[in-house]
Structure 1
Amino acid sequence: MSGSNLFGELRRFARTSGAVGGIAARVAGERMLGIKTDRAAHAEDLKTILGGLKGPLMKVAQFLSSVPDALPAEYAAELAQLQSNAPAMGWNFVRRRMSSELGPDWQSKFASFSQTAAAAASLGQVHRARLHDGTEAACKLQYPDMPSTVEADLRQLKLAMAVYARMDNAIHQDEIYKELTERLREELDYEREAAQMRLYQLMLHDRPAVHIPRPIQGYCTKRLLTMTWLDGRPLMERLAEEPPQEERNRIAEALFQAWYVPFYRYGVIHGDPHMGNYQVRPDGSVNLLDFGVIRVFQARFVSGVIALFEAVRDHDDEKAHHAYETWGFTNLTREKMEVLNLWARFLYEPLVEDRVRRIQETNDVTFGREVAEKVHAGLKRTGGVMPPREFVLMDRSAIGLGGVFLRLGAELNWSRMFHDLIADFTEESLVDRQATALAEAGVPLAK
């Protein structure tokens, strides 16, 4: 590692360690010593610190805020407000980055290029441009020193998880950390993201309600991703206008297709379902954005997901135990499995009932928190579990999308949509489709 990268990591660590350490101290003080603190005020401070950072800690914060009971309610409420709005880098940075990626004459490759960022995210910022053939484009430029930033954040995340593990043994986090580490490092490679974007175009080519940007050949490098520009509005902005129920349903159905057609037909899932990653169009169709965090599953895992649904539907504990083992859970006692089944029944309930309904029958905005608290308490009581790596993004997507469906107030027959996807499922057909799509898109297999 170069000296400059090492110093970059040390600076990063110094900026974040106080914030994360503060959370750890306050959580420990409350849970172990009974010390009451002003968590709401500290959560506001934490949001300010993380919102000004460019790197995976902001993504981790968004992730934690979407998982029920992962953080105290005050922290979750503040962190949920974090969107991909990190302050943009200035024009001097943009000129240097574009010159290093496309050459000193880079501006001649565009008919126009906006000096002002159209959007700023955790790892890069987006500028609108136009090619000479009239194609409207979005250029995502990676921020400087991001590899060292990611490594510093991963060290900080490991420290924070270790502190939390000493306070709470319900979830053993070793495999979770390994999964987050691999996915975040992959996200640095914009050529990989371009391939994953092509993969999603292939998988969703017959779904007109979902729009995928197209990477533009000759304009992409490991630190520059140029893609076609998609017009759309942020989902929360449209929801603020209280659209009619029919439009809400169309949006929810499009999002269901965007996530679960790839999963059940190709064994692939988009692992980052937060509000900033989709836009809506006037006809209720959606734009799916940001393909940096993608998970490819073995057919056996997808088969296990379907088997667990059948176990919940049929109240079959033996099939449930087999499904968990298929996923990679080990050393499951009957007591631990009963606790996990609370979570499984909660997630699968809308798929079991063959009727039009909301994703959750109550209007509780803290989606699943009560169930999550029971699961958490049960796992602590029974010695905890170690979730397999594959479980992390699958659960993240289910909870993240469930929260979006809840906000939409969508009323759909979730069971019918699910059964349409799995009607002809076999492990062999998934393996064939997956191999063909990955090869055609040029997606490298994970290590």
Structure 2
Amino acid sequence: MSAPSKPPASPRGKAVPSSRLSRLWHLGMATGSLAAGLGTKGLMEISRRQPSQRGPIELAPAQMRRFTERLAQMRGAVMKMGQLMSMDGSDLLSPEIAEILGTLRHDAEPMPLGQLAATLKNAYGKGWESGFVQMQLQPIAAASIGQVHRVKTADGRELALKIQFPGVRRSIDSDIRNLRFLLTTFPLLPRDLDIAPMLEEARLMLHRETDYGAEADAMRRYADRVGTHEHLRVPRPHEDLTTPEILAMDFLQGESVERVMQQGAERQHRDLIAQLLVELSFRELFEFGLVQTDPNFANYLYDRPTRRLSLLDFGAAQSVEAQWVECYRQLARAARADDRAGIREGCEALGYIDAHTPREDANEMIDLLRLSGEPVRQSGAYDFGQSDLFERVYYRGRELFMDNRFRRTPVPGTLFLHRKFMGTFMLCRKLRASVDIHGMLEPYL
């Protein structure tokens, strides 16, 4: 065993709050910090901002840091919420605030060393240390569900152990109830919007993400589908060391895609990463029938010397029913051909509108989807680095949302597919990449 390394932020780590009341208290404190960071003026600005007001929203860094620290300490469902907030992919927040919020994608509080040792003992039994010749006690990653440690086994395998935070699985239902309480008690959403189906789908997805046996199975199936690809790598699970709380997998080298963005990688690397992820998204939906729906940037590692992209974290992998595959295929055809009637049919199939939706609202939704389909319609490479499409979609969508024009939510089974597609779009924008989406989509239509 190697000597323990000292984690940079919190040497001892912080235990996960476990009771519903304590988690509600932490969530309330986090929400209060965010509200204080915005201030009355900021809250009004966000709710009433016009599309012409393109500058970043200014927040108080101290309160925003306290907000992220609360979510990082809680882990679990509420930290997932913060991760999604951090992935807006635009210039809506000042660079300093975006950087603070972005830490939620990879910087959860690690568990205390005593809690880590107890978790390993519970999983592997007394004397578990004999199975390893080296273990890096400082986690190489810590996110909302667990933390990852690099190890070398007694039989010579280089592995990554993803160790689930104790109590996170038990806290999911209470977190979702707490989120629902806050969202419905305070005027944070349009009053006619029924969020119950979305929250229920989120609850089910989080339970799937904490089932490490199911994740190992999804990782195996996904690796089989990717096969031997020149630029893509998928780790294989190691069943002998995988338990309900620990997932053992191949250790893969690389730097996070987010770091590649920050360090200003050459255009060839940025374009390749974006092209690989777009192509993979199409294959997942139309070939695999299995989609990894978590768009967190930290789920991808890139090795510049070999130009290989490693795919991590399959807890959010979701099988897609054939009916939804065909629905998205038809919608993609309509978007590519700018077929307004076809787009309307897709909107109805996905639950955005129905036969009783007022004509004006239906037309607004169709217009918004047509706007979103700009990269699909454009023949040749679409330059995300030069495009302001995200801002246009964001501001128009927010305006319709605040005007209570979105009265329906998507079919629950498709909710996380939308998260995947939007996440891939934002990655392309963050990478400032050029991608021929029009041409890459054609073989699947």
> What does residue range 281-300 of structure 1 map to in structure 2 within 5 Å?
281-282=303-304, 283-300=306-323
List per-residue Cα deviations over 1:398-421 (Å, max 9, x = no partner): 22221211122222312111123x
What does residue 23 of structure 2 align with? Answer: 12
- Any conservation in 1 of the 2:18–2:171 contact (CA below 8 Å)? no
- Any conservation in 2 of the 1:169–1:384 contact (CA below 8 Å)? no
The 1:164–1:62 alpha-carbon spacing in structure 2 relative to 1, beyond 3 Å, is farther
SS in 2 for 1:157: helix
Runs of 5+ consecutive residues of structure 2 not aligned to the other structure: 1-15, 49-56
1-side partners of 2:385 and 2:373: how far apart? 11
CA RMSD of aligned residues (A): 3.1
What does residue 106 of structure 1 align with? Answer: 128
The 1:91–1:286 alpha-carbon spacing in structure 2 relative to 1, beyond 3 Å, is same
What does residue 47 of structure 1 align with? Answer: 68
Cα deviation for residue 115 of structure 1 reads 2.7
- Any conservation in 2 of the 1:359–1:405 contact (CA below 8 Å)? yes
Q: From 241, 247, 250, give the equivalent of 1:225.
A: 247
The 1:300–1:288 alpha-carbon spacing in structure 2 relative to 1, beyond 3 Å, is same
Amino acid at match of 1:417: M
> What does residue range 55-74 of structure 1 map to in structure 2 within 5 Å?
55-67=76-88, 73=93
List per-residue Cα deviations over 1:123-156 (Å, max 9, x = no partner): 1111111123322001111111222332332222
Q: From 202, 207, 212, give the equivalent of 1:180.
A: 202
Structure-2-length-normalised TM-score: 0.83
List per-residue Cα deviations over 1:362-409 (Å, max 9, x = no partner): 2x4xx6233222123235254632222133222222222212111222
What does residue 150 of structure 1 align with? Answer: 172
1-side partners of 2:112 and 2:132: how far apart? 19
Structure-1-length-normalised TM-score: 0.83
Q: From 268, 275, 290, give the equivalent of 1:253.
A: 275
2-side partners of 1:101 and 1:221: how far apart? 7
> What does residue range 183-262 of structure 1 map to in structure 2 within 5 Å?
183-262=205-284
What does residue 358 of structure 1 align with? Answer: 383
* Structure 1 residue runs of 4 or more that deviate by more than 6 Å after TM superposition: 24-29
- Any conservation in 2 of the 1:65–1:76 contact (CA below 8 Å)? no
Runs of 5+ consecutive residues of structure 1 not aligned to the other structure: 424-447
- Any conservation in 1 of the 2:351–2:409 contact (CA below 8 Å)? no
> What does residue range 36-435 of structure 1 map to in structure 2 within 5 Å?
39-41=59-61, 42-67=63-88, 73=93, 77=98, 78-163=100-185, 167-169=189-191, 171-282=193-304, 283-331=306-354, 332-359=357-384, 361-362=386-387, 364=388, 368-379=390-401, 380=403, 382=405, 384-420=407-443, 422-423=444-445
Using the TM superposition, name which of 152-161 and 271-280 deviates more.
152-161
Report percent identity of matched pairs.
23
2-side partners of 1:132 and 1:192: how far apart? 26
- Any conservation in 2 of the 1:277–1:288 contact (CA below 8 Å)? yes
1-side partners of 2:18 and 2:123: how far apart? 24
